[in-house]
Structure 1
């Protein structure tokens, strides 16, 4: 036979139930607090992610802007370069148009005088030729003026402005002259350079290389080499 339940037993049951309820309520509150904390953390991280996304969008927009600016500058540079090329072409054409008549003017000034000039220097030339051209392989060249007699000749290079490169180029051609013009293979060959303007020191340079130097003198020209000068013969 089971024992009878007393009022005291019922009170104890209520007390235990109340204690368990309080524990459950406390755990529920703790979990709510933890859930709220996690929710707040999630919100914070979400806000940070949004901020990072916004920053990334801003940087992407800035990168796009800079890329567009770079493209614009490249296009501007290309346009400027094309304009510069056109200017260079136009300038080159203008210089060429100016230089060609000027070179012809120099040749027309020098050619009538060279026979007498070289005769006075002991080279008994008697006739001149102009624009002598050769297209022989390895010796293609053009000689502006050639003063010649039966055994000697002087090749003359005419420039509006005589530079070291001009002198060196002419010396190279003189070395190959007889290959270019075999009809003169038995001649004694000398060289001369003529210029309205001569770069500083180039007259002395040409002198030392054995070339006659011809300069403008009033309405005619003269040889400026001194009496001690001995021209170089080119074999």
Structure 2
């Protein structure tokens, strides 16, 4: 039987070992450099994220303050508009109501009472309807809605109000016929035509006075 002997691995020379050591050292140095670079990049990202978070917080605070300023400005504008509307509405009512009954009496109604800002409430003190001007006698009650600028929507709302007034009158045994009118400092042709079609008288400004607009031929006021 023949024995086969294995040759041992050749031994590395000092020069080879030294070269391998230097190669490993260089790889470790490169690895350390890459780790340091990665660590620096991570720190840069964290710093940029921190700066982004700070800017987002500042922007959010600025937007919050701007929103507060905007809401405050809107509130002030709405209040100013509301006050202006109230003043104009009151001015128109004062211009219209003192002489209003005479204008309608000239049409044969003979109104004896003029009341402004009339409020109708139910048994639970809930407001059912509000009337800017109410002309009355024993046969008729004429409810007038006064607007700074009369629109078709205002006319529609007054028609609904008239139905409420009729029901309110019936509950209180008021058998008078209820008529309606709309008045405006500015009355468009569209609003005027729609009001007449709805059976309302229309009062509009004419120079320094207020007049009852001439209705279409054969027109009759609607009675509720």
Verify the 8 A CA contact 1:139 1:176 in the aligned structure 2: no
The CA RMSD over aligned residues, in Å, is 2.7
CA deviations over 1:164-198 (Å, ceiling 9, x no partner)? 44333322222211344544741221211111123
Report the Cα offset of residue 156 of structure 1: 0.3
Contact 1:141–1:180 (8 Å) recurs in 2: no
Partner of 2:198: 209
TM-score by length of 1: 0.77
Q: Distance in 2 between matches of 1:162 and 1:121?
A: 23
- Structure 2's unaligned 5+ residue stretches are 1-7
Distance 1:211 1:111 in 2: 17
1:170 to 158, 167, 175: 158
CA distance in 1, matches of 2:200, 2:75: 35
Answer 1 or 2: which has greater helix percent: 1
1:24 aligns with 11
Query: Which of 68, 73, 77 does residue 59 from structure 2 map onto?
Result: 73
Q: Partners of 2:80 and 2:57 in 1: how far apart?
A: 34
The count of residues paired between Structure 1 and Structure 2 equals 213
Q: Is 1:47 aligned with 2:36?
A: no
Q: Tell me, which stretches of 5 or more residues in structure 1 are unaligned? A: 1-19
Residues 96, 220 of structure 1: alpha-carbon distance in 2 compared, 3 angstrom cutoff: same
Identify if the C-alpha distance between structure 1 residues 124 and 54 changes in structure 2 by more than 3 Å, giving closer, same or farther. Answer: same
TM-score, structure 2 normalization: 0.80
- Which residue is equivalent to 1:193? 182
Q: Hey, what's the Cα distance between the residues in 2 that align with 1:134 and 1:77? A: 46
Shift of 1:158: 0.9
